Amino acid sequence: MNWMKRQRLIGYVFIGPNLIGMTVFMLIPALFSFYLMFTDWVFASGQPPRFIGLDNFRMMVRDDLFAVSVKNTLLVLIPVPISIMLGFLIAVMLNNRTYFQKTLRAFFFAPYFTSGIAIAFVWMVLFQPTNGPINAFLRSVGISEPPLWFASPDTAMYAVLVMMTAGGIGYNMIIYLAALQELSSEQLEAARIDGATFGQLLRQIIFPLVSPTTLFLTITGFIGSIKGFGMIYAITQGGPANSTTVFSIFAYKKAFSFYEMGYASAVSWTMFLIILFITLIQWAGQKKWVHY
């Protein structure tokens, strides 16, 4: 008994510092925000929080920004499967089908590793509508009126999608490559001797073998996309005309432009529910295509 008590004490000494930090900076804020979402509290208004039940959610559903940000949040899911597919193809190539594998791997991974606010601004200039390199190229191949990209509400989201697709490929490639390197070469060799074409080999052998990795990448990719904020917000602030306002920007604006803390909490927990919902759908759907 004494030994068990001692063991328990030592255990808490080890996890204690981290546990205290987690409690202060994650658990308490999470509970606090859970409470706030049922109140109408506005920061620095001088009024104490008033309990209003689910009113914030009723207000949110009627908010114009809600519909826009749901639509945009669904749009930013598109780059995920595209960059997963491209990452997969590149990984298959870099797994014993090219020379200079390590150098190429570094080349593909570097854009992901360095992506951030700085690179977002590079994209903004590349997409500059009048003289930017992308539109200059489009004009030179005969498109006389290329899209205005970030400058127009109709096309800003497309520019965001291009930027996100390019940013995700390197990460997906590196994860697939690690998975491929753990496969036994026998299965792959057998298929090659049977005279399977490269396409058949990809679809029928390699892809099923790495399907757990694909599941991991789609789940984490969707979560990352839904949470994505910085690269979009830094260059567009959700505009023009709210055309790039995704859910995280919606929540941010309500909190830090309008200081409607109760309402903003409701918006951010809705975002959590969307993430949970999309993750659960994928988890349930995995039986159909994931082979362990």
136 scored as a contact of another protein (CB under 8 A) = yes
Is the N-terminal amide bond of 17 cis, ω within 30° of 0?
no
CA atoms within 13 A on the CB side of 82: 14
Please, which residue, 132 or 147, has the CB nearer to another protein? 132
The CA distance from 280 to 71, in Å, is 20
Least Å distance, CB 36 to another protein, is: 7
Question: Among 229, 240, 282, 286, which residue sits at the site for another protein (rule: CB under 8 A)?
Answer: 229
DSSP classification of residue 149:
G
> Scanning residues 231 to 290, which ones bind another protein (CB under 8 A)?
233-234, 248, 251-252, 255-256, 261, 264-265, 268-269, 271-272, 275-276
> Scanning residues 109 to 128, which ones bind another protein (CB under 8 A)?
109-111, 113-114, 116-119, 121-123, 125-126, 128
C-alpha distances in Å from residue 291, one per residue of 85, 120, 131, 174:
18, 37, 49, 21
Please, which residue, 178 or 190, has the CB nearer to another protein? 178
> Scanning residues 37 to 76, which ones bind another protein (CB under 8 A)?
43
The CA distance from 31 to 17, in Å, is 20
Question: Among 97, 141, 142, 195, which residue sits at the site for another protein (rule: CB under 8 A)?
Answer: 97
175 scored as a contact of another protein (CB under 8 A) = yes
Least Å distance, CB 116 to another protein, is: 4
State the number of binding residues for another protein (CB under 8 A): 91
> Scanning residues 153 to 172, which ones bind another protein (CB under 8 A)?
166, 169-171
Indicate the SS3 state at residue 80.
helix
Query: In the stretch 186-225, what mask flags binding to another protein with x, by CB under 8 A?
Result: ---------------------------x--xx--x-----
Please, which residue, 155 or 270, has the CB nearer to another protein? 270
DSSP classification of residue 47:
P
Residues 6+ apart with CB under 8 A from 292: 212
The CA distance from 190 to 183, in Å, is 13
Please, which residue, 157 or 231, has the CB nearer to another protein? 231
Indicate the SS3 state at residue 193.
helix
- CA-closest candidate to residue 263, choices 50, 67, 70: 50
Indicate the SS3 state at residue 51.
strand
185 scored as a contact of another protein (CB under 8 A) = no
Question: Among 17, 46, 53, 199, which residue sits at the site for another protein (rule: CB under 8 A)?
Answer: 17
